[in-house]
Structure 1
Amino acid sequence: MGIVYSTLQRLDRTGVEPVAWQAPNPPRFDTATAPTFEATERWSMPGAKGPEDVAVDHDGRLVTGTDDGRLWRFDEPGRATVVADTGGRPLGIEVLDDGRYLVCDAERGVLRVDDRGRIETLADSAVGRPLVACNNSAVGRDGIVYFTDSSAKYAIAEHRYDLLEHRGTGRLIRLDPATGETDLLADGLQFGNGVGLSADESFVVVAETGGYRIRRVELTGPEAGRVGTWAENLPGIPDNVASQTADGIFWVALYSPRMRLLDLMAPHPALRLLAANLPEWAQPEPEQRAWVLGLDGSGAIVHSLRGGKGSYSPVTGVREADGWLYLGSLTADAVARVRAPRPAV
């Protein structure tokens, strides 16, 4: 395998340098009895696609951003208007106390946007390094922003390379918008992605897409700053996370169920280097199936909602509001919503 790997390195056109790792065996999940949501409402954005994340403002209006740089708001169910154009690629969206939007733009950094389309850049670098893949955030009641820079090497459009490489260069960063100061809460993340705050803001969680797990960082008390594992060996590939709801739930979007071929390649850098150099159509492809999880404060799964094969997917964003779960997708041409489950007993 060493000779093969050396040959592949000479032919490599990606710069990917995979390291060997052992993916955990995926947990058994009874998909036959798991709740499903086949009947989703879909709301399109005229001439746009890729509503990667979703948020709901103080007036109950859905907000999302698409791959052409536009930020959209649904002033009525199913009817979208353009709020702003970031000129980049908006991903994570949060609604601030004053009604403005906090946007993680993959190309421009952390932005603040008002409903007249005016844009402020709050951060395009952090802790002495430019932001390469600004992805998702959560905002505390004091205005402090917790956000991810998913990779130190690959932009969001090249996220597959980061997952194949598996070197863990993602960061969780804390930003004070009042001063512009940033500090590092966690690094070495395997494509750090979704961010969620606990209801009491004593801890923040961050999804590691490439590690199939969610990390927890303590924010208060004698263990402030400690990084631990909150939920591990998830049944799918985690993406965005929504902060804890009043019912105690953290909603987690799963990009897809676990990919058996990707896990089988994990211990073999040569195979992953080969996969990185294949045409995109020939690379391992996720199963197109909607799936979201609801986790309680301890990281235990209390809700698992799935769509059938070919359902709205890949789900990359999820948000609960007024009895609905709103769903976003990295590549779909619409947002979706489905009735939220009743609180777990």
Structure 2
Amino acid sequence: MPIPRPPAPWLIRPQKLPATTPPPLTGPWAPADTRLDDVELLALPHGHGPEDVAVGPDGHVYSGTHEGQIWRWPPDAHAGAVPELIADTGGRPLGIEADPRDGSLIVCDAYRGLLRLTGDGTITDLAHRVAGERILLCNNAAVARDGTVYFTDSSRRFPVSHWRRDLLEHRPNGRVLAYDPVSRRTDVVAEGFHFPNGVALTPGEDALLVCETVSHRLVRLSLPDGAVRVLGDLPAYPDNMSSAGDGTYWIALASPRVALAERLLPHPALRRIAAVLPARLQPQPLPYVIAAEVDGDGAVLRTLHGPSGRYVMATGVRRHGDTLWLGSLTERAIARTPLS
């Protein structure tokens, strides 16, 4: 049964902010490696928007779509392989992670909240409220060794169907939450983030790395005190991120920063008008994707580029062995490329 889609506020509440200038794609961000223009596509049977991609302990590959369906590809899937439909959340699955304890999937459903999906297709609701308030945009997660789930609630004002309004409002509407599987309690770890999106645990599980999409930042969030340290201002909009398990992380960057959106920051009235225009008339993401490998201090180790737009709006990234997997908010396929 489809989950009701919450309405979005019609008017945004933008503040006057200084304009920013996107940094150039130079140094470690230079497009020297453009292999994302030559990815192998594994198509969905129907539907679109496989926003994230996860690899289970047995090598199976998972992704969820705009229509609510979660698909599974075998470990040796080729370009013509037909995935298996394993569940339908009725909402909009975004981030997907494997629980290290049993291999079940933790699913961030933008409308339904935090879910668990077992191999037989059973879906269990874990969290949809915190401190008496609805979790409005459950987005991405990281699962600790003891099963604690750290996850982002990207906006307390705008559902995923109106993410552009949150970008134009440009306020710290998001927060990071934690679900305890023993007490079944959900708590706020920290709040005041600009569309917190991707999240990953450090190897010692003493901190989280968090991507803020709207403010194009990578931050380190200490645990359990919740202290925040900015690691870097990024030249593109970061989305999901994942740990490689060796102290490095991969970040999916859906688009280079849009100069028009940056120039609108000092003009709240214009941003209010832009927020109610049809989506096609609002500032648009660019058909250029980047996947970046960083260390625990945010230093950029490697970047892969797709400047020709063969695969656009890359929002999920996962390294598994020598393969990098990509998901997209808008495409009709997941993608992979060898790293060697």
Paired amino acid for 1:136? N
Q: Which residue of 2 aligns with 1:265?
A: 264
Does the 8 A contact of 1:53 with 1:317 survive in 2?
A: yes
Q: Which residue of 2 aligns with 1:85?
A: 88
Hey, what's the Cα distance between the residues in 1 that align with 2:212 and 2:277? 25
Query: How far off its partner does 1:16 sit?
Result: 1.2
Q: How does 1:204-219 map to 2 (within 5 A)?
A: 204-219=208-223
Deviation string 1:253-280 (CA, Å, 9 cap, x unpaired) is 1010010000000111111112112211
Any idea what SS the aligned residue of 2:243 has? coil
Does the 8 A contact of 1:104 with 1:136 survive in 2?
A: yes
Query: How far off its partner does 1:316 sit?
Result: 0.2
Query: How far off its partner does 1:336 sit?
Result: 0.2
Hey, what's the Cα distance between the residues in 1 that align with 2:256 and 2:118? 36
Structure 2 portions without partners, runs of 5+: 1-8
For this pair of structures, how many residues does the alignment match?
A: 324
Structure 1 residues 23 and 228, CA gap change in structure 2 (3 angstroms):
farther
Structure 1 portions without partners, runs of 5+: 1-12
Q: Which residue of 2 aligns with 1:15?
A: 11
Q: Which residue of 2 aligns with 1:150?
A: 154
**Runs of 4+ with >4 A deviation:** none
Paired amino acid for 2:241? V
Q: Which residue of 2 aligns with 1:42?
A: 41
Hey, what's the Cα distance between the residues in 2 that align with 1:17 and 1:189? 16
Deviation string 1:111-157 (CA, Å, 9 cap, x unpaired) is 00112111100001113211111111000001000001111110011
Query: How far off its partner does 1:313 sit?
Result: 1.1
Q: How does 1:21-36 map to 2 (within 5 A)?
A: 21-30=17-26, 33-36=31-34
Hey, what's the Cα distance between the residues in 2 that align with 1:24 and 1:304? 23
Q: Which moved more, 1:211-220 or 1:266-275?
A: 211-220
Paired amino acid for 1:265? L
| Identical aligned residues as a percent | 44
Does the 8 A contact of 1:74 with 1:81 survive in 2?
A: yes
Q: What do you get for the CA RMSD once the two structures are aligned? A: 1.5
Hey, what's the Cα distance between the residues in 1 that align with 2:163 and 2:294? 25
Q: How does 1:94-243 map to 2 (within 5 A)?
A: 94-96=97-99, 97-219=101-223, 224-231=225-232, 233-243=233-243
Paired amino acid for 1:119? I
Query: How far off its partner does 1:25 sit?
Result: 2.5
TM-score, normalised on structure 2? 0.92
Hey, what's the Cα distance between the residues in 2 that align with 1:98 and 1:286? 38
Query: How far off its partner does 1:306 sit?
Result: 0.3
